[in-house]
Structure 1
Amino acid sequence: MASHSLDQSMDTLDRAVYVKLKEMIMNKSFKSGELLIQNQLSDQLGVSRTPLRKAMAELEMEGLLERMPKGWLVKEFSIEDMISVFEIRAALEGLACRLVAGKIGKADLAYLRAMFEQAKPSEQNMMHEYYEADVKFHNIIVQSTKDSLLIRTIKSCRIIQTSHQQGLYLHPNDTYQEHMDIIDALEEGDGHQAESLMRAHIQKAIVKLKSGNFEVYR
């Protein structure tokens, strides 16, 4: 019994270290290209090297870190990497829209509409709220599929998070109506239209990336 409790405590610690380290990477406490030294990081976080090593290995699998001879490198995403991310997003999130069209709950649809209405930016200082709404929008659609493989694939590849982490967004003025149109198609049960709209919505970012004509918003 004591052994079981100890195992649970260790699992909890491993998870806590993983979550903390991931948050620090996602909020840019560590810069892209920065080398993380395990001993130094262990002292900084006040944890032993074992849970830290497990967390770093997991984050390597997620594509956030890259193992180097002297430590772990915070992954720096190239334009080509980002294009691949958006291409995968377009395919998988388009599929998600087709699967949930006509099935997603009315309460969820109403929530999505209200969320964008409230977050629709009128001033620069509201941009952050809009982008938080954008992340929730995409995540809610994916989660609504209840397809464990699809959800796990998107989550493990960090597809949505990667694209948002890098600070590359289309301006809300260009995307607000697109979100509304996708919600309309989902409500009407038009899976093919919802899929097409979602693909086009995400592929706009690919066009901008390829042209080099994009802005980075924070």
Structure 2
Amino acid sequence: MDQMRVDRSAPTLRELTLEKLREAISQGFYRPGDRLIERTLCDQLGVSRTVVREVLRHLETEGLVETGSHSGPIVARLDPAQVEEIYEIRALLESEAARACAERATPALVKQLRDIRKEIEDAFDKADFKRVLLNTEHFYETMFTGGQKLMMHQVVKSLNARINQLRSVTISSPGRGTDSNREMNKLLAAIAKKDGEAAAAASLEHVRRTAGIAMAALAEKEAATSD
């Protein structure tokens, strides 16, 4: 009967397709309002229409895709009220995770976070925004896990697709690499000193500045659209 067991470590075609399309949306290959035509996606991804439909339905539950009555599936538009709420949730949960991580910090954990930060800085230097996104997500996962805030991390993970979509907007803005590195290194320094209050404050500062950039970018885009 062992030969009948499913290899759960191997991703399915649906999972691979979901990852590819989610990444394409999060990194701006498909932009808010773009139509997602099933036949085109089948050709681009090399999968059946059934798989594409399943993936689109899943991305709709993540808030990355919306279906209009006439236009069919499109990349979900970034609603300013929802974006503001996402950053409010991030501010609350990430600051508490930062506080807990600092209070529980070990030399091994600090080294792990520092190594990830080096990867992010190198990626910013090379304008490799895909690597910035991947390692930023890894940094926060490590911070939440280090602070033993696993349920909080589950909530954040449920928003990760939209968070990364917003990150793709903010990290590519002029000068953001320098500012982001400074803010995150301030957070890391507080964690290394086991200063929970300073870590929470640094986390809040980072999220609020990022939120300001995202909201300004949305406002600018809306103004350009209405002209």
Partner of 1:171: 176
1: CA distance between counterparts of 2:80 and 2:112?
A: 34
Partner of 1:92: 93
Deviation at 1:198, TM superposition (A): 0.6
Change (3 A) 1:134 1:148: closer
Confirm or deny: 8 A CA contact 1:83 1:209 kept in the other structure: no
Change (3 A) 1:54 1:2: farther
Q: What per-residue deviation string (whole Å, max 9, x for no partner) do you get for residues 2-50 of structure 1?
A: 9956897x97122122112212222333232111122442343232233
Q: What per-residue deviation string (whole Å, max 9, x for no partner) do you get for residues 78-106 of structure 1?
A: 44443332222111111111222232442
What is the total number of aligned residue pairs between the two structures?
Answer: 213
Partner of 1:41: 41
Q: What per-residue deviation string (whole Å, max 9, x for no partner) do you get for residues 40-87 of structure 1?
A: 423432322332222111111111111223421111214444333222
1: CA distance between counterparts of 2:30 and 2:165?
A: 15
Q: What per-residue deviation string (whole Å, max 9, x for no partner) do you get for residues 93-125 of structure 1?
A: 11111222232442332243355457657xx85
How high is the TM-score relative to the length of structure 1?
A: 0.76
Q: What one-letter code is carried by the residue in structure 2 that aligns with 1:54? A: E
Confirm or deny: 8 A CA contact 1:85 1:163 kept in the other structure: no
1: CA distance between counterparts of 2:46 and 2:120?
A: 38
Change (3 A) 1:35 1:160: closer
Change (3 A) 1:192 1:210: same
1: CA distance between counterparts of 2:42 and 2:118?
A: 44
1: CA distance between counterparts of 2:111 and 2:59?
A: 35
Percent identity, aligned pairs only? Answer: 25
Confirm or deny: 8 A CA contact 1:135 1:160 kept in the other structure: no
- Unaligned runs of 5+ residues in structure 2 are 221-227
Change (3 A) 1:68 1:145: farther
1:205 aligns with 2:210: yes
Confirm or deny: 8 A CA contact 2:32 2:77 kept in the other structure: yes
Deviation at 1:137, TM superposition (A): 3.1
Confirm or deny: 8 A CA contact 2:100 2:196 kept in the other structure: yes
Partner of 2:201: 196
How high is the TM-score relative to the length of structure 2?
A: 0.73
